[in-house]
Amino acid sequence: MAAAVGFQIPNSANRAGYESELLREAVSFGNGDVRVRPRETSIFADADALASRLSRYPGVRTALPVLLLPGAIRGKGALNGAPVLGVNTTSPFHPFRLIAGELLSSGDSQGVLVGRSLAERLPVSVGDRVVLHVLLPPTPKMLHEDNARRYTLVVRGLVGGTFGAQESVFMDREFFAQDLGMPRAASMVFVYLDNHDRARSLAQLIAAEMPQVQARAWIDDSAYLSSSMQASRALGAISEAMVVAAVVIPVLALLFVHVLNRRRDIGILAALGFGPAEIFFVFLTQALWVGLLGSVLGCGIGWVLIRHFQAHPIFEWEGFVIRPLLVWGSFVRPVLVVLSATVLAGTYPALRAARLDPAPVFRGLV
């Protein structure tokens, strides 16, 4: 039982850390809790007004307009295709993590942020110059103009984010939209909430009140993210089932053998006036004490393993690091599961003890 608890605690903690890191990368440093896109067109003409309206919904921390266009970038090597995003990098939330350098200032027409994986292929670092080619969408103001743009920019910073930012280029949206001829344009608006669990209800509310937009919660907008969360929870359920089986079978066998070896003691208890309910309680309490002692030892083992995995993560890539969460839930649930399994395993032997007839024991027949 100590081994079962000691195994399940770091397993639960690592799974909780994985889910937390997924939300951090895909939502907090990604595309937000709710993603709002135009329903009929490819661009919001006045995304600032829409973002202002969205930011007034309860629980919204910020609404960030984002202008997304196809592009290609050249550093010291070959030309590499990359999505180009115009964002307000001074916002408290944005779809990337700053790894090196500095953020773009408002209206910066000379700077760019480059995803770290993309920067390694170019190769470039902070302070280097790059040539960026961007394909702008045709608009009424640019219908008869060349909609390709070429910029020579300085890399202000390197950014990360395993849900796309590591392969993307970021420019200042104010400058970018001005050059497009639509100063308040955006392809989408990312809405960041103070509670990830409210994303779906808010998306439904936005869609109902604004029929001209598509609003999707993070759990519905990213098949990979939702599948990863479901897979993590399924693995957790399978792990718990395996722990229950690993506890119930040996404990049931050991306690049953214990009852058979204590038949004379049970007969003496019955002869002294102990009823079936009291005998049942005595043997079930033994099982419970065994479970409690095993759980205490298992908590110690689990704590040591959690500290080990915090110092040596089981997975690390591009800033996506899976470290176990040292929280009460990582201890309480495994302990409750093992204790419940122990009590379940001890029930049948305790019933056998309670129903034992003391007469054959004293006559030496059993």
Q: Where is the domain boundary, 132, 155, 186?
A: 186
User: Does 178 lie in the same domain as 66?
Assistant: yes
Q: What is the pLDDT of residue 142?
A: 44
Query: Using one digit for the tens of pLDDT, what is the confidence trace for 191-222?
Result: 999 999 999 999 999 999 999 999 999 999 98
How far is 79 from 45, CA to CA, in rounded Å? 31
Q: Where is the domain boundary, 186, 213, 248?
A: 186
In this prediction the pTM is: 0.81
How far is 353 from 256, CA to CA, in rounded Å? 9
Residue 202 resides in a domain: no
Residue 211 resides in a domain: no
Query: Using one digit for the tens of pLDDT, what is the confidence trace for 313-341?
Result: 999 887 889 999 988 888 998 898 888 88
How far is 295 from 254, CA to CA, in rounded Å? 18
Return the closest-CA partner of residue 179 out of 107, 80, 114, 115.
107
Token pair recorded at residue 38? 């135009």
User: Does 169 lie in the same domain as 82?
Assistant: yes
User: Does 55 lie in the same domain as 164?
Assistant: yes
As for how many domains the chain has, the answer is 2
Q: What is the mean pLDDT of the chain?
A: 87
User: Does 50 lie in the same domain as 172?
Assistant: yes
Q: What is the pLDDT of residue 363?
A: 62
Burial of residue 138, with CB atoms counted within 10 A of its CB: 0-12 exposed, 13-18 middle, 19 or more buried: exposed
How far is 31 from 188, CA to CA, in rounded Å? 10
Residue 293 resides in a domain: yes
What share of the chain in percent tops pLDDT 90?
50
Query: Using one digit for the tens of pLDDT, what is the confidence trace for 20-68?
Result: 999 999 999 999 999 999 998 888 989 999 999 999 999 999 999 999 9
Query: Using one digit for the tens of pLDDT, what is the confidence trace for 221-257?
Result: 988 888 998 999 898 889 888 888 888 888 888 877 8
Residue 154's SS3 state is strand
Q: What burial letters (b/e) apply to 154-170, b meaning 16+ CB within 10 Å?
A: ebbbbbbbbbbbbbbbb
Residue 160 resides in a domain: yes
Q: Are 344 and 250 in contact (CB under 8 A)?
A: no
User: Does 257 lie in the same domain as 180?
Assistant: no
Q: Are 202 and 33 in contact (CB under 8 A)?
A: yes
User: Does 235 lie in the same domain as 167?
Assistant: no
Provide the 10 A C-beta neighbour count for residue 237: 9
Q: Are 116 and 168 in contact (CB under 8 A)?
A: no
Residue 206 resides in a domain: no
For 72, the domain range is: 43-186
Q: Where is the domain boundary, 159, 186, 213?
A: 186
User: Does 115 lie in the same domain as 11?
Assistant: no
AA identity, residue 7: F
Query: Using one digit for the tens of pLDDT, what is the confidence trace for 121-163?
Result: 999 999 999 999 998 765 544 444 557 789 999 999 999 988 8
User: Does 266 lie in the same domain as 358?
Assistant: yes
Q: What is the pLDDT of residue 144?
A: 45
Which of 94-98, 279-283, 290-294, 296-300 has the lowest average pLDDT? 279-283
User: Does 158 lie in the same domain as 290?
Assistant: no
Q: What is the pLDDT of residue 361?
A: 60
User: Does 275 lie in the same domain as 180?
Assistant: no
Return the closest-CA partner of residue 280 out of 342, 361, 340, 356.
356
User: Does 168 lie in the same domain as 79?
Assistant: yes
How far is 57 from 214, CA to CA, in rounded Å? 16
Residue 178 resides in a domain: yes
Return the closest-CA partner of residue 33 out of 104, 95, 111, 85.
95
Residue 258 resides in a domain: yes
User: Does 14 lie in the same domain as 68?
Assistant: no
Residue 306 resides in a domain: yes
